[in-house]
Structure 1
Amino acid sequence: MNYVMGYRCTLCGKEYEANLMDYTCPACGPKGILDVVYDYSQMKKQITREYFRDNKNFSMWRYGPMTTVVQNSLLERTLRVGWTPVYLANQLGQKLNLKELYIKDDGINPTSSLKDRASVVAVVKAIENKFDTICCSSTGNAASSLAGNAARMGLKAVIFVPDRAPAGKLTQLLIYGAKVISVAGSYQQTFELSAEAISRWGWYNRNAGINAHLVEGKKTVSLEFIEQLNWEVPDWVAVSVGDGCTIGGVYKGFYDLLMLGLIDRMPKILGVQAEGCCPFVTAHRENKPLVPTEENTLADSIAVGVPRNPVKALEAVKNTQGEWITVSDDKILETMKLLGTTEGIFGEPAGVAGLAGVVEAINKGLIKAHERVGVIITGNGLKDINNGLKAVGEPLRVEPEISQLEQILTN
């Protein structure tokens, strides 16, 4: 059953019926990002803890009735997205002097990032609305996730990426059969070209911050997190931030659970950006609207100088009494190695930025030792091997002689 009542503009607050076909608010235009409005009074009759206890579908579709999908028969055909593991840190929590640190590894989704949660919803909605081609612009992960999920469901995918996209992600796109357009420009220029192409050729639009259904897919990471923690809410949840859509989705998931009475409070959300590209942090600190910034960070997946979902992202932190923080590229690389050597999890730069933010927040006294902290690793490190090697250096090199090996190992 679908519980969608309609949509509400995040700028003007105007509400629209559930059959609205526009991607954004007709009154506000492209900046009028829409939020899906649910009938929680009806939803809570079905969605209870008992519902989940008896649910044997261990994918994100166990939360299907809490999303905007209509044709449930399609869900049996998609890639198996979601129900990624949550680990209580064996060593890292102690190293950081935290009582409890929980790590949700979304890098083991089908195309190795959290973005699969949004893309699989986008693909289903495209099919529901009888499109045969789906398109997006991306710094990498949204692109590869869309290409893989579209291939699985028989849709054509057209992907626009800035020419700095890592080779691993470009390879994924081509393997999945997408038509890949590499743009010699910034993410902003890439986005604008994709928007023009979508308008001209009438493709389904999966672009971040434009399509309201994407947040409804991303929010399932929060729904899973809380259920996997036996409905116990952490004090903090850290999220790396680029466009603002992921953090908006994380907040929406917690909000849904609160409205359904499945939790009694919200965790504080820590929004983490790279120092070289931090428009949200600057806007928060200066209490001013977002302004375009340079995209100077090796964390390509969060290198977004003109975020498309500003209201939802800023409200996610504000409404949970959370905080914004920045981390340097050097700290991101250090955290890649730290996470790998202590917990055996390989995250890409953007994937571990949230954890780097936790380390920084602890050093600043923002996060206290007694608090329970959750962090979402949003992407796998194999997507960006070059920066992985920067984090760890070169292997020991020897001739095939035991004496040389002994000399190296004893020094």
Structure 2
Amino acid sequence: MENKMILGKDIEQWKEDYPLLNKLIATEEVFWTNPKYGKFHEAIENISLNEEDVKDAEERLERFAPYIAKVFPETKEKNGIIESPTVKIPNMKDYLEKVYDQRILGDLLLKCDSHLAISGSIKARGGIYEVLKHAEDLAIESGMLTKEDDYSILDSDEFRKFFSQYSIAVGSTGNLGLSIGIMSAKLGFKVFVHMSADAKQWKKDLLRSKGVNVVEYESDYSKAVEEGRKQSDLDPNSYFVDDENSKNLFLGYAVAASRLKKQLEELNVVVDEDHPLFVYLPCGVGGGPGGVAFGLKLVYKDNVHCFFAEPTHSPCMLIGCMTEAHDQVCVQDFGIDNVTAADGLAVGRASGFVGKTLEGLLSGVYTVDDDKLYVLLKALADTEKIYLEPSALAGVAGVVDLFKTDMGQKYLEDKNLKDKMKNAIHIAWATGGSMVPEKEMNKYYQKGTELSAK
């Protein structure tokens, strides 16, 4: 281990250059703030995507809404728009203050992407969007569809037969596979979801019940992606959804921001220079939280502060951003095992595209211990009657760390936020949970109960 060379340097040299690596390698919880974080107007100059791209994605989802409402009855109420509620969680805030002996200034809210229709996770945003965009491209190219049509016509044997000539493939730890699989199968595509070893059995079973081909691997996420890409490349009619580099996925997630803005306005929540917004986003490869953070920065600019949350055993985005080596390094290079109960976050190598895009926009990254995820899972169920999967609780831990860690306090000081915190809004992004079978959820809760008693 000690003699291994990583990008021409041995481990000791890396530790010397980045002292925080000592704690990361020991899988201790850390809170890192990004020294490259800057003013929005400067950071956005270096990014090829812009508001027009996000608007285009938003309009595409609106075109598909009549089709979505028709084939997924659970979306009818919202006219085929897949959106989740944002709720205040004051009882959970009280719990956090008491248990961690830390005053939390401002309001704590939960963005319930755990309860998004169709696939029950944040991946219902990007994953479903990318499948819809691909379907639209194919149908328009073939002359079967125009942008002026009522897209509910896609729910027909004619279109299903057309799409059945094509296949869609993806590599996933679980939730992205669910959203891609369910949506693609519904349209009529042949679908291949390449699942890593940490993917939960119930997710594989659910996909198979929808007619999806699930390919299982004994190794981790990177292998599933690599093999999925290889298989897809062999077939000219196959489309590979690339979670590591996809701009379409990223834009699908980014649409969340303008919708959140409307919800906050309805809740009479003000975000401006005197009412800063802090958002805590669980992070795997980075596409979901990256897209959401990008969208939020477009909407709120310097008044929003986005932090990513990773398991202590899979801090790939933190290592990538801190070292600026991004996807050229993985956690395993540093002897970190990438084994975590937070299956959606079990990623060893971060997206270089996301890391580089958010270089000047991301406020920081913190890590959370697996045991804490279970304890928080039980607490949220007890205090607010909201049930999430373990990885989704990573966002909840951030608000405590912001106030309790030296780095968090220094961030508030450096950004002149200290005297504004009583007006702050904190949003923990709940990324998944509503589709977890009751039996599984009971096991999670039980584990949280046991750990809480220690």
TM score, norm. by length of structure 1: 0.73
Q: Is the 8 A contact 1:300 1:350 kept in 2?
A: yes
Q: The residue matched to 1:67 in structure 2 has which SS?
A: helix
Call closer, same or farther: CA 1:215–1:289 in 2, change over 3 Å. closer
Aligned to 2:20: none
Change over 3 Å in CA distance of 1:154–1:311 after alignment to 2? closer
Q: Could you say which residue in structure 1 is the equivalent of 2:446?
A: 392
Could you tell me whether the CA contact under 8 Å between 2:321 and 2:355 is conserved in 1?
no
Indicate the residue corresponding to 1:303 in structure 2: 346
Q: Give the corresponding residue for 1:216.
A: 251
* Aligned match of 2:5: none
Q: What is the TM-score normalised by the length of structure 2?
A: 0.67
Tell me how far apart the structure 2 counterparts of residues 241 and 317 of structure 1 sit (CA, whole Å): 15
Equivalence for 2:114: 107
Deviation at 1:360, TM superposition (A): 3.1
Measured after TM superposition, the shift of residue 282 of structure 1 is 2.5
State how 1:7-406 maps to structure 2 within 5 Å.
37-38=49-50, 40=52, 65-67=55-57, 73-78=63-68, 79=72, 80=75, 82-95=82-95, 96=97, 97-98=103-104, 99-109=106-116, 110-130=118-138, 132-202=166-236, 203-230=238-265, 232-233=270-271, 234-257=276-299, 263=300, 265-286=302-323, 288-290=325-327, 291-293=329-331, 294-307=337-350, 309-313=351-355, 315-316=357-358, 318-320=360-362, 322-364=363-405, 366=408, 370=422, 371-380=424-433, 382-383=435-436, 386=440, 389-393=443-447
Residue ranges of structure 2 left out of the alignment (5+ in a row): 1-45, 76-80, 98-102, 139-162, 332-336, 410-417, 450-454
3-state SS of the aligned residue for 1:265? helix
**Distance change >3 Å, CA 93–CA 172, structure 1 → 2:** same
Question: Given that residues 340 and 370 in structure 2 are in contact (C-alpha distance below 8 angstroms), is that contact kept between their aligned partners in structure 1?
Answer: yes
Deviation at 1:37, TM superposition (A): 3.4
Deviation at 1:236, TM superposition (A): 0.7
Task: Show CA shifts across 1:1-34 (max 9, x none).
Answer: xxxxxxxxxxxxxxxxxxxxxxxxxxxxxxxxx9
> Per chain length, whose mean CA-contact separation is higher, i.e. which structure has more relative contact order (CA < 8 Å, sep 6+)?
2
Percent identity between matched residues is 21
C-alpha deviation, 1:134, in angstroms = 1.2
1:272 CA displacement: 0.7
Contact in 1 for aligned 2:377/2:445 (Cα 8 Å):
yes
Deviation at 1:393, TM superposition (A): 4.4
Cα deviation for residue 269 of structure 1 reads 0.6
**Across the two proteins, how many residue pairs are aligned to each other?**
334
- The equivalent of 2:40 in structure 1 is none
Q: Unaligned stretches of 5+ in structure 1? A: 1-33, 44-62, 258-262, 396-411
CA distance in 1, matches of 2:306, 2:61: 33
Structure-2 change in CA distance of 1:359 and 1:310 (3 Å): farther
Q: Which amino acid aligns with 1:378?
A: T
3-state SS of paired residue (1:276): coil
| Structure 1 or 2: more helix by fraction | 2
Cα shift at 1:273: 0.6
- Per the alignment, residue 13 of structure 1 pairs with none
- How much is the aligned-residue C-alpha RMSD, in angstroms? 2.9
Alpha-carbon offset, residue 214 of structure 1: 0.7
| Counterparts of 1:222 and 1:330, CA distance in 2 | 31
Tell me if structure 1 keeps the 8 A contact 2:47–2:357: no
Which letter does structure 2 place at the counterpart of 1:255?
A: K
Q: CA deviation at 1:68?
A: 7.1
**Paired amino acid for 1:94:** D
- The aligned residue for residue 22 of structure 1 is none
Letter in 2 for 1:265: D
Tell me which moved more, 283-292 or 218-227: 283-292
User: For the Cα contact (< 8 Å) 2:254–2:291, is it kept in 1?
Assistant: yes
Deviations 1:109-157 (A, max 9, x none): 1211010111221121221232632110100000011111123322221
Q: Please give the secondary structure, in 1, of the residue aligned with 2:358.
A: helix
Corresponding letter in the other structure for 1:77: Y
